[in-house]
């Protein structure tokens, strides 16, 4: 089975199954798929595209039905529910002979992932459970599914987490959650652990940080007690290890983790892992461990969007039981973009301050209380990020930002990027000019004026620039 992360940038058409393809040429199919998936990309956004469309492989077309395969049953169900109709519509626009689109699961060599756990005697289970529970780190009572605000950037990870929590068997193995700091990985892990413990108390769940796992392993080595160590881990139903990037590069721990991991997967036990990077990007991870990690479901939590941040703020304000003007929440969602942890911290500070001084929360007070934090967030946009974002928005190469090409199709995006660099960073005109292929500061000035002028007269252009600005500011 291919994993979604192993695949190159584009969704695929499988060239190896010509016999499946009786209704048309594989090339045509490939072109149609490219058009359809590009449409979808524009419609559903980059995050959902990466999660759902990219892992898809077009298998072929038979009797007018295009078959698309995905790595897991979970993905098939989701894709069928969310995208099948739209894919069919879009595809029909490309090929009116199309009768439908069908989503299937790749034939899977990672079969242990779908195995059922062996049921054991209730008594042994009970003993195991106690052991598991005290091995496990405590769970934060706030980290539940109910308290998790779902939006585009995290809906896939959330759905995958729920699936693992609600299934009484193993829907995919491992579940690998990854994303930047403070985006909700630990929250989802705790939510899974809590849910399983409450709903299926007969299953042993161990949740611990990778650091703790390492520490225990090293202690066991020192006390020459590794048999016990192995026994403990290998008798759980659900093993959850948070922040596995900490065991990357630590050879003996990695080795042990790999054995434990394999043993559990082979017995059909559920593994859930989190990291700050995708399996393939984890440095110092052994190849076989990476490919094993890639065998299950890899779900990434993307950076927050404005909408998600606002949703989270509304939910937290509600929970705190305080009235906060919409303007203040919007301001925070706009400005505090790094991660959810920082966003929560900012909200708490604003609320605490107002209670302390006994004044209502206002925009001015908020700006005042958060001055240092806001400044730190302001500094985050770099000219490189602006160039990257603008280039991808207008579909030009990043190198065109520096190049001497003057064709309108590249000159205009370049001007937009210069304008945004002026608006969003504290760089001077000459500094900005240097970052755009060593241009003169008067060129930058001209670009800024030109963009200002266009914004006034061209609504579509104005919306484009505004959208870019919002995305860059978070």
| Contact call for residue 185 and ligand ADP (CB under 6 A) | yes
Is 240 a binder of ligand ADP (CB under 6 A)? no
By CB under 6 A, is residue 207 in contact with ligand ADP?
Answer: no
Residue number of the CB closest to ligand ADP reads: 184
Q: What does the DSSP 8-state code read for residue 114?
A: G
Q: Identify the three-state secondary structure at position 232.
A: helix
Q: Interface with Mg ion includes 209 (CB under 5 A)?
A: no
CB of 257 to ligand ADP, least distance (A): 19
Note whether 339 binds Mg ion by CB under 5 A.
no
Rounded CA separation 175/297 (Å): 5
Question: Which partner in Mg ion, ligand ADP, none is near 340 (CB below 5 to 8 A by kind)?
Answer: ligand ADP
- Cα separations in angstroms, 116 against 171, 196, 236: 9, 16, 14
- What is the separation of C-alpha 25 from the centre of its chain, rounded to a whole number of angstroms? 35
Q: How is the beta sheet containing 238-242 ordered, strand by strand?
A: 205-209, 238-242, 270-275, 175-179, 297-301
User: Does 341 participate in binding ligand ADP (rule CB under 6 A)?
Assistant: yes
Q: Are 189 and 274 in contact (CB under 8 A)?
A: yes
Among 163, 187, 197, 203, binds ligand ADP (CB under 6 A): 187
Q: How many residues are there in the chain?
A: 474
Which of 48, 72, 186, 294 lies at the binding interface for ligand ADP (CB under 6 A)? 186
Our finding on whether 278 is near Mg ion (CB under 5 A) is no
Instruction: Establish if 184 lies at the interface with ligand ADP (CB under 6 A).
Output: yes
Residues that bind Mg ion (rule: CB under 5 A) add up to a total of: 2
How far, rounded to the nearest angstrom, does the alpha carbon of residue 423 sit from its chain's CA centroid? Answer: 29
Burial 300-332, CB ≥16 within 10 A → b, else e: bbbebbbebbbbbbeebbeeeeeebeeebbebb
The answer to the question of residue 45 lying near ligand ADP (CB under 6 A) is: no
Residue 186 within binding range of Mg ion, rule CB under 5 A: yes
Q: Are 13 and 29 in contact (CB under 8 A)?
A: yes
Residue (54 or 185) nearer to Mg ion, CB: 185
Q: Is 340 a residue that touches ligand ADP (CB under 6 A)?
A: yes
Residue 212 CB, nearest approach to Mg ion (Å): 13
Residue 275's CB: how many other CB atoms inside 10 A?
A: 24
**DSSP β-bridge partners for residue 194:** none
Site membership for ligand ADP, residue 275 (CB under 6 A): no
Question: 192, 238, 247, 312: which one contacts ligand ADP (CB under 6 A)?
Answer: 312
Closest distance of CB 345 from Mg ion, Å:
15
Q: Give the residue with the Cβ less far from ligand ADP, 183 or 468.
A: 183
How near is the Cβ of 94 to ligand ADP at its closest, in Å?
Answer: 37
- Strands (E) across 180-325 are located at 205-209, 238-242, 270-275, 297-301
Binder of residue 374, out of Mg ion, ligand ADP, none (CB less than 5 to 8 A by kind): none
State in angstroms the smallest separation of the CB of 308 from Mg ion: 18
Cβ–Cβ under 8 Å, residues 86 and 119: no
- Footprint of Mg ion on this chain (CB under 5 A)? 185-186
What is the binding site for ligand ADP (CB under 6 A)? Answer: 143, 147-149, 154, 179, 181-187, 312, 340-341, 344
């Amino acid at each position: 089975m291919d994993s979604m992360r192993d695949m190159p940038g584009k969704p695929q058409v499988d060239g190896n199954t010509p016999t499946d393809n009786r209704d048309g040429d594989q090339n045509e199919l490939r072109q149609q798929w490219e058009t359809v998936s590009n449409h979808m990309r524009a419609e559903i956004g980059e995050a959902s595209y990466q999660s759902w469309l990219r892992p898809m492989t077009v298998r072929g077309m038979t009797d007018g039905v295009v078959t698309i395969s995905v790595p897991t049953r979970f993905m098939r169900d989701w894709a069928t529910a969310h995208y099948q109709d739209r894919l069919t519509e879009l595809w029909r626009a490309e090929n009116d002979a199309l009768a439908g689109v069908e989503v299937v699961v790749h034939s899977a060599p990672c079969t242990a992932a779908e195995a059922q756990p062996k049921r054991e005697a209730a008594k042994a289970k009970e003993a195991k459970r106690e052991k598991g529970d005290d091995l496990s780190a405590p769970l934060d009572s706030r980290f539940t599914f109910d308290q998790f605000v779902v939006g585009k950037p995290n809906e896939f990870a959330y759905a995958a987490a729920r699936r693992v929590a609600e299934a009484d068997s193993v829907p995919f193995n491992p579940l690998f959650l990854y994303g930047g700091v403070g985006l909700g990985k630990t929250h989802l892990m705790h939510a899974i652990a809590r849910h399983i413990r409450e709903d299926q108390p007969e299953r042993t769940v161990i949740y611990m940080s990778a650091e703790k796992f390492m520490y225990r392993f090293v202690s066991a080595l020192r006390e020459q007690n590794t048999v016990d160590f192995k026994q403990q881990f290998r008798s759980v139903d659900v093993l959850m290890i948070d922040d596995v990037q900490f065991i990357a590069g630590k050879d003996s721990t990695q080795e042990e983790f790999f054995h434990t991991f394999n043993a559990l997967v082979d017995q059909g036990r559920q593994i859930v892992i989190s990291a700050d990077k995708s399996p393939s990007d984890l440095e110092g991870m052994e190849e076989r461990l990476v490919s094993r990690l890639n065998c299950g479901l890899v779900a990434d939590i993307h950076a927050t969007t404005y909408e998600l941040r606002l949703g989270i703020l509304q939910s937290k304000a509600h929970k705190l039981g305080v009235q906060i003007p919409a303007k203040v929440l919007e301001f925070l969602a706009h400005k505090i973009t790094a991660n959810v942890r920082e966003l929560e911290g900012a909200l708490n500070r604003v609320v605490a301050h107002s209670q302390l001084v006994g004044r209502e929360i206002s925009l001015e007070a908020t700006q005042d209380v958060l001055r240092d934090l806001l400044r730190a967030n302001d500094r985050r946009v770099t000219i490189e990020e602006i160039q990257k974002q603008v280039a991808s928005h207008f579909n030009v190469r990043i190198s065109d930002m520096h190049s001497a090409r003057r064709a309108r199709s590249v000159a205009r995006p370049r001007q937009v990027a210069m304008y945004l660099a002026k608006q969003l960073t504290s760089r001077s005109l000459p500094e900005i000019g240097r970052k755009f292929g060593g241009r003169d500061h008067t060129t930058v000035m001209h670009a800024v004026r030109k963009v200002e002028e266009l914004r006034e007269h061209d609504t579509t252009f104005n919306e484009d620039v505004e959208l870019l600005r919002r995305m860059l500011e978070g």
